[in-house]
Amino acid sequence: MNAAELDALLRQFLVDGKLSDAERKALAKWLDTNVTSEQKRGVARSRVFAAARNAVADPNAAQVIDFLEDVLKVLLPMGGNATAPSSTAPDEAFFSPGDACLGRIVSRLNGAHRTADLCVFTITDDRISGAILAAHKRGVKVRILTDNDKAFDEGSDIQRFIDAGIPVVVDHTPAHMHHKFAILDRTRLLNGSYNWTRSASSVNQENIIDTGDPTLLASFQREFDSLWEKLS
């Protein structure tokens, strides 16, 4: 792992104290290429905290960063005998009609702690919308990509999300943003034919796959970030 290269990236990103979408994409790409084990992930995490400490002049702020790093070592341990993160849960497939797909989507949204990137053609099922709004209210960074063909149809909840302050990007191109996938905390991917509608659970033959496969997660995250930048 090229630690010096990571340090240079972090110094560049810390100039304005923010992580833009483009910088997030560059960091994810670097991690995909260089972090091939939990040990290396732990080293990379330590470099991030070191870069943050070096960027602050106030010793009290540096102490807070030390505290945060120590706490995260407990909350998000790397390896060892601690409980495995959700990314190590088994990959599963779910089918409709029935509540299996719906239940898994709502469960993953309810369990999100940090981020929820949702890329779905249409969202009209209030049971799912309620879980999205609840995640936003508890501080999860939610982003929604959707299509203009269904975004403002009767029953669509897109305007509810906008009114709640959730960032929403709508595809207004002649083609359709027809994806139906979600990335939760960058550790779980939900993907399949299942539209987030009542009919998808009650009458349609649909499917979703719930996976923590890191290669698929990285690919779908790149696609989401690319569409977000292109359609914004």
Name the H helices within 112-154.
Answer: 126-137, 148-151
123 SS3 class: strand
Sheet holding 188-192, edge to edge: 92-96, 206-211, 188-192, 180-184, 115-120, 141-147, 168-171
Active site residue 180: yes
- Determine which one of 137, 172, 178, 230 is catalytic: 178
Rounded Cα distance, 35 and 30, in Å:
8
Active-site annotation holds for 29: no
Catalytic residue of the set 147, 157, 180, 225: 180
Q: Which two tokens stand for residue 7?
A: 């340090």
Catalytic residue among 185, 210, 213, 225: 185
Catalytic residues: 178, 180, 185
